[in-house]
Structures are given as structure tokens and as C-alpha cells.
Chains A and B, each alone.
Chain A
Amino acid sequence: MQSLVGVLFDGLAYGTLLFLLSVGLSVTLGMMNFVNLAHCSFAMIGGYTTVSLMGSYGWPFFATLPMAFLAAALVSVVLERTLYRRLYRSSDLDQCLFTIGIVFISVAAYAWFYGTVVQSTPMPDYLRSSVEAFGVRFAAYRLFLIGMGVLVALVLVLALEYTRFGAQVRAAVDNQRMARGLGLNVDRAFMITFALGGGLAGLGGALAINIVGLDHSFAFNYLVYVLIVVAVGGLGSIGGSFAAALLLGISDMAGKYYFPWLGAFLIYLVMVGLLMWRPLGLFGKR
């Protein structure tokens, strides 16, 4: 039987992971209104980069994390430049269908290259240990994950609030046409944001391997969770995404521990209820 603190802790770690996976989508969706259902495919790029580098080349875990970020950022920016940009003026439906198509293709491609087994990576010893406090054992890896998530959230918030680029992004999210009218290069800001968002998803994918596992259908399994975070948190809001991700992570963990027979029913119910109450999300402004 897990204690309440243990459940909260696991939920926090899981929520941080969901935050990393979804924050990029939230910002890019807020900027260009582009419904990118393939966001989790970028996460898989990161995950499989880590698996390959560790498995085939013997890289240490920490060294693979920047590579996971870079690989996902690179692929996402290439896709954005070549394919996605043609669809900014298309309907929601076309964007949905196109990106679902990308998900189908990527899932099949990963199954082709890596098979359908669940991947795992050996962890360094100091991440496999655990810290004991208040009678509860805290796994070191989860502590590391939570620290990472908080760090990323802090850096993002500070960068958005206090840098010139951050101000451009905020302007583009608030009113894209006005920002263009003032001479901001929204396309360039979007490209960079898209790459950053894809990279963060890739980092999330690499960190997810030891929490939820990684297999070829990852992009589908976590699509719904990521969309819930984005829709509930509100578009373009980093604080909103963080709060929504933690809420979702904790309630999902609590649901799995205390009401296992309900499955994911509770999560979907909460999401539908929240959306009906606030269609723009908890922290959405538009």
C-alpha cells in the first residue's frame, strides 16, 4: 500500500514529465493555431536517440540528453520548414488529418527500425538509488526528473518574461496579426519556438524511458495526455501547462493506486468537465 506522500511524489514526477512533453505544443499552438497532433512523435525521436546512443555506442545517460534535445529540435524544424508551414491557413480538420498522418508514418517507421518491444536503458547507479525521508523512499531518478522539470519551467518563464525574444513570442501569441503589423518576424519567432518545443518534447521522451517506458506506439499513447494538458492549461501559457500537467499527473497516479478498476475513466471525466466549464482552459485568455 502506497502512502499518500508516495503517491503525491510519483504523481509529481509523472506530471513534470507531462509538462516537458507538452509545453512546446502549448506555445506553438497558441502562436500559430496549428493543431500539431504529431508533437509526441518528436518526443519519440528524443527517446530513441537516447536508446541508440546508449545501446550501440555506449554513451553515458547524461551525455545523451542534449543529443535527444538536439535531434528532436532538428527534425521538428525541418518538418516545420518543409511541410507544416504550407498548412497554417488550412482548416483545423486538415491540420489534424495531416499530423495524424505523420503520427501513423512515424509509428510504423519506429516499429520497422526498433521493433515493437518496450525499450529500456541501464541507469547509472546513483540514479537507481533512493533517498529515505519521513518514512517514505524517494527514488533518485524521480527527484532528478522533478528538479529538471522545475528548472525548465523556471528558465522558460524567465526567458519569456525578460528577454527580447520572449517578448516577441508573447506578442505573437496574444495577437499574431498585430505583431506582424509592428514589424516582428513572427515566422522566424515561430520557427525557433517550434524547434525549442520539439527539443523539449525530445528531452521529455528521453526522460520518459525509465518512468513509463518507450515503445513504437508512444506517440499515440501520450497524445491524449499531452492534448489534455494543453487544452486544460490554456494555449500559450507556461504556468498553465505546468499546473495542468501536475494536476493530471497526480490525479492519474492517485486514480491508478486507489481506483484501479476505473482505469483512465476518471481522467477523461475530469477533462470533459473542465473543458465544459472553461473551454479555453484553466489559464486561457482567449
Chain B
Amino acid sequence: MPSARPFFQEQARWRPAETVFWLAALLPFLVTPDYLSLASQVAITALFALSLDLILGYAGIVSLGHAAYFGFGAYTAGLLAKHFIGDPLLGLAAGAAAAGLVGYVTSHVIVRFRHLALIMLTLGLGLLLQEAANSASALTGGADGLQGVRMSPLLGFKFDLYGRTAYAYSLAVLFLLFLAARRIIHSPFGLALRGIRENAVRMPAIGAPSLAHLRKIYTISAVMAGAAGALLTQTTSTVSLEVLSFGRSADVLVMLILGGAGRLYGGILGALIYMVARDQFSGMNPQYWYFWIGLLLVAVVMFLPNGILGGLARFSERKS
């Protein structure tokens, strides 16, 4: 019997463009040192988009409430730093673990549903958690946000005003978790997930434990979203209710679709474009910002169904 190993090795081969991309991620330190805070926001959002890509792009689970895990990680890290210990790495681990636990529990419900019921359930769970955080204002600060989050230095480096530490920290976490996601996607488990995405009935029929696979990737995705939330708390020293909002879930979905779902780099690229554009147009009334986002969404669905990366891939295929 031929081995499957060469197939997976070819899939997982590290391509030159990827090296260029990650080296370019270091450029802000040299080229735009004034924008490092923005760069760290981009890295955090990219991590969040990557976590959504794992379930949406690879396993076909549509979620309108992924901010639930992001926000849970953010509040966990914030509360830990406020009341107990301000060590960033510990907070990161705690935020990721707590979100992962919530993800594991909810995954038992989520993976049973598809179509409208799935969309409604993810939306409902997200809203539920936001309302809970709003009501428990004694713990979370409610609409005023969680104040008084003090972070200790990270491995001896203080979080400075320019965001140098913040960006280095966010980028490092993004890169490590990206490697983990890449490893997962290019494993037999990742292949099984794509199989479930393409045909949810056939995979169980050929003996794959579909629901168990989906629960596993959903939990992993929640861990990553929680880590992103914890990073946001630690780099901004505050948590607001916005981290749990429907707006955040919708934004990250837009970024992922814009960049291209199911392509690992799609979410990162989408987050980069979205965040930089929003920063450039920050003088604009948010109402009108959403007008352009709406137009963009309509255009992407109509003309670029696989996002920017999907369009590029098709373009280069046609040329060759």
C-alpha cells in the first residue's frame, strides 16, 4: 500500500512567499515605528480571524458569535491581572484555557446543527454571553468596561507607550499559533475536516468520527480566539463590553471573507487590510464606514466568492 506521507509532506512544504510574508511582518519595527500599536492590533485581530478560519474555512461551521470566545479570553485575562497576578504569559494561558473550556462545552451543542439553526445558535450564544457580562457589572464593570488592569513586564520588557513590546509579543504569539494551525491543517485530521466540510453525510459513512472531529477543531478555535482576546486585554490594559459584541463577530467574519476563507493567510490578510483602512478613515463617521463595508461585502460575495487570495489563485492558474 502506498504511503500517504509524501502527500502530506508536499502539502505542508514551507513556501518562499511565506518566509517573505513573515519577514515583512517585522518591517513595522523599522519602517513605521509610530504605528506599532496599530500593528499589534492587526496581529491580534489576525489571530482572531485565523481562529475563525479553522472552523469556518476548514470545517464549514458558520458562526455569527465567535466574539464570545474572544471576549471570554479577554475578561479572564483582565480579571486575573486586576485581582491576582499581572504576569502576561500566565494571563495568556489562562485566557486561552478558559475560552477553550467554554468552547469545549458549547461545541457539544454547536456541532449538531447546520444551516439556519446553527447561525441562530451561534448568534444567540454570543448575545447571551454579552448580556451576562453586561448584567454582572459588579464583576465586569458592565458598560463602563473593566478598569484597573495592571500588567507586569513581559520577560523583563515593560509594555511601553510606543507599543514595541506589545507588537513583538502579539506577533510572536500569532506566529506560534499560526504554526500550530498550519500543522493541524496539514495533518490527516485537517484533511478529515475538509472532508466534513465538503460532504457532511459521507464522512461518517466512511467511518470518520465527524462529530468528535468537529468538537475538537471547535475547541481549538476557541482556545485561539481566547488567546487573541487575552492579548488585546494585555496590550490595551482595559476590557470593554465591545469584545463580546455582535459587531466584533461580524467584523471578523468580514475580514476572513475579504481575505479568503480556508486559506490560512486569508484571515491575516483580511485583518491587515480592514484594520489599516479603518485607521486611515478613522476621521469618518462610523456610520459611513459601515456603508463602505456593506458595499465591499456585497461586491465580494458577487464577484470574488473566495476572497482576495482565492481571486489571486484563480488569476495565477489562468495565466499558467
| Interface residues in chain A, defined as those with a beta carbon under 8 Å from any beta carbon in chain B | 29, 33, 35, 83, 86-87, 90, 92-94, 96-98, 100-109, 111-112, 116, 216, 224, 227-228, 231, 235, 261-265, 268-269, 271-272, 275-276, 279-280
A-B contact pairs, 11 of them (CB 8 A): A92-B119, A93-B56, A100-B294, A101-B296, A101-B301, A104-B290, A104-B291, A107-B287, A108-B290, A111-B288, A263-B134
With a CB–CB cut-off of 8 A, which chain A residues contact B176?
none
Q: Once the chains bind, are B64 and A101 in contact (CB under 8 Å)? A: no
Could you tell me the distance in whole angstroms from the C-beta of A24 to the nearest C-beta in chain B? 16
Q: Once the chains bind, are A276 and B121 in contact (CB under 8 Å)? A: yes
CA distance A92 to B293 in the complex (A): 19
Q: Does B302 contact A (CB under 8 A)?
A: yes
Instruction: Give residues 268-320 of B contacting A (CB, 8 Å).
Output: 285, 287-288, 290-291, 293-298, 300-302, 305
**Bitwise interface map of B from 81 to 125 toward A, beta carbon under 8 Å scored 1, else 0:** 000000000000000000000000000010011011101110111
Q: Does B253 contact A (CB under 8 A)?
A: yes
With a CB–CB cut-off of 8 A, which chain B residues contact A261?
135
Q: Once the chains bind, are A108 and B291 in contact (CB under 8 Å)? A: yes
Can you name the residue of chain A whose Cβ is closest to the Cβ of B109? A276
With a CB–CB cut-off of 8 A, which chain A residues contact B135?
261-263, 265
Could you tell me the distance in whole angstroms from the C-beta of B270 to the nearest C-beta in chain A? 13
Given known contacts A98-B297, A265-B135, A272 and B128 CB-to-CB distance under 8 angstroms: yes
With a CB–CB cut-off of 8 A, which chain A residues contact B116?
29, 35, 92, 231, 235
With a CB–CB cut-off of 8 A, which chain A residues contact B208?
none
With a CB–CB cut-off of 8 A, which chain B residues contact A102?
294, 298
Given known contacts A97-B257, A105-B294, A265 and B119 CB-to-CB distance under 8 angstroms: no
Other contacts beyond A106-B294, A107-B287, A108-B294: 15, CB < 8 A: A92-B116, A97-B297, A97-B300, A98-B297, A101-B301, A102-B298, A104-B293, A104-B294, A105-B298, A111-B288, A231-B120, A264-B127, A271-B124, A275-B117, A276-B109
Q: Does B179 contact A (CB under 8 A)?
A: no
Q: Does B250 contact A (CB under 8 A)?
A: yes
With a CB–CB cut-off of 8 A, which chain A residues contact B172?
none
With a CB–CB cut-off of 8 A, which chain A residues contact B132?
265
With a CB–CB cut-off of 8 A, which chain A residues contact B120?
227-228, 231, 271, 275
CA distance A255 to B62 in the complex (A): 30
Could you tell me the distance in whole angstroms from the C-beta of B3 to the nearest C-beta in chain A? 35
Could you tell me the distance in whole angstroms from the C-beta of B5 to the nearest C-beta in chain A? 33
Q: Does B131 contact A (CB under 8 A)?
A: yes
Q: Once the chains bind, are A268 and B124 in contact (CB under 8 Å)? A: yes
Can you name the residue of chain B whose Cβ is closest to the Cβ of A35? B116
Q: Which of B127, B288, B295, B298 contacts A268 (CB 8 A)?
A: B127
| Interface residues in chain B, defined as those with a beta carbon under 8 Å from any beta carbon in chain A | 56, 62, 64, 109, 112-113, 115-117, 119-121, 123-125, 127-128, 131-132, 134-135, 250, 253-254, 257, 285, 287-288, 290-291, 293-298, 300-302, 305
Q: Tell me the interface secondary structure of chain A in the complex.
A: helix
With a CB–CB cut-off of 8 A, which chain B residues contact A111?
285, 287-288
Closest 9 CB pairs of A and B: A104-B294, A101-B297, A108-B291, A105-B294, A265-B131, A101-B298, A279-B117, A111-B287, A268-B128
CA distance A279 to B112 in the complex (A): 10
With a CB–CB cut-off of 8 A, which chain B residues contact A276?
109, 121
Most chain A CB atoms below 10 A, which of B128, B134, B253, B293: B128
Can you name the residue of chain B whose Cβ is closest to the Cβ of A98? B301
With a CB–CB cut-off of 8 A, which chain A residues contact B119?
35, 92, 96
Q: Once the chains bind, are B64 and A265 in contact (CB under 8 Å)? A: no
CA distance A276 to B253 in the complex (A): 24
Most chain B CB atoms below 10 A, which of A33, A96, A100, A101: A101
Q: Once the chains bind, are A112 and B287 in contact (CB under 8 Å)? A: yes
Q: Once the chains bind, are B62 and A93 in contact (CB under 8 Å)? A: yes
Q: Once the chains bind, are B287 and A103 in contact (CB under 8 Å)? A: no
Q: Once the chains bind, are A109 and B298 in contact (CB under 8 Å)? A: no
CA distance A23 to B131 in the complex (A): 27
With a CB–CB cut-off of 8 A, which chain A residues contact B305?
90, 94
Q: Once the chains bind, are A275 and B115 in contact (CB under 8 Å)? A: no
With a CB–CB cut-off of 8 A, which chain B residues contact A104?
290-291, 293-295, 297
Can you name the residue of chain B whose Cβ is closest to the Cβ of A216? B287
Q: Once the chains bind, are A224 and B127 in contact (CB under 8 Å)? A: yes
Could you tell me the distance in whole angstroms from the C-beta of B113 to the nearest C-beta in chain A? 6
Could you tell me the distance in whole angstroms from the C-beta of B242 to the nearest C-beta in chain A? 15
